Homo-oligomer: A and B are copies of this chain.
Amino acid sequence: MKISELSERSGVPIPTIKYYIREGLLPGGRRTSANQAQYDQEHLERLRLVRSLRDVADLGVATIKQTLEAIDAAAAEPPELPALAVALRALGGPRTAGGQDAGEEAHRRVDRLLDDLGWQVPPESAARSHLARALAAIDHHWHGGVSAEMLAAYARLAGELAQLEIPQTWDPHREPGEALRYAVLGTVLFEPVILSLRRLAHIDRSHRLAARRGGSAPSPEAPHPPR
């Protein structure tokens, strides 16, 4: 297809497509004459991914480029390599400021947790450091920190989330590059869904609690005991 059709089908203006090509976010088309080039389905797919990462995850051009390179590199590796770990590293952590650097202790805690869970996560995965930093921040800002039981409960729910999601993203019939694109996109697309639903659930629970507290003396038992 010509660049005009690529623009039409992707909804991305032609000058922006040219800008992405110059910045290395999109490969150039196959030249057919001095001032014409042909683009294919691969260009369209990549263009859609670029826009998704930009619009949904609010990523800048440099981070998008790193993420795409990581996806390409990981897709080219033998499948034993932890491709998703590599691709997610480029994406950067969930929203948290620098704040505390996670100390040794927080890192050891993450190691122990993953060992206990039996999760196979390569030592160099960025998500390990993100979790360590988040735990260090809680130790610093939250009275009593997070208990081993709470952390295990969070991990159990995260495992259930992944079980729910994996059939959608890691279809074994998919070609590795496509599977990775889907996995990275799924990471960023569904994070706001999960966090918004959690906030809504908190509002619901606090609402019920407040109504109860407004009525009579506070009830001594937690209204929603953990199962």
Contacts and interface: CB of A to CB of B under 8 A. Distances in A.
Copies per complex? 2
Given A95-B192, A138-B189, A138-B190, A119 B199 contact: no
B96 A194 contact: no
A46 interface: no
A161 B198 contact: yes
Given A191-B195, A201-B162, A212-B172, A52 B121 contact: no
**Interface of A, helix, strand, loop or mixed by DSSP:** helix
Contacts of A95: 57-58, 94-95, 191-192
Given A163-B224, A196-B93, A206 B119 contact: no
A211 interface: yes
Contacts of A187: 198-199, 202
The contact size tier of chain A is: 35 or more
A4 interface: no
A155 interface: yes
Interface string A192-227: 111111111111111111111110001110111111
B210 A119 contact: no
Given A131-B196, A199-B187, A170 B211 contact: no
Contacts of A218: 172-173
Given A134-B192, A212-B172, A225-B167, A155 B219 contact: no
A68 B33 CA distance: 62
Given A131-B193, A201-B162, A167 B222 contact: yes
6 contacts: A80-B210, A84-B206, A95-B191, A131-B200, A157-B160, A183-B202
Interface of A: 48, 51-52, 54-58, 78-85, 88, 93-100, 114, 117, 119-122, 125, 127-128, 130-131, 133-135, 137-138, 140-142, 146, 150-151, 153-155, 157-170, 172-173, 176, 183, 185-187, 189-214, 218-220, 222-227
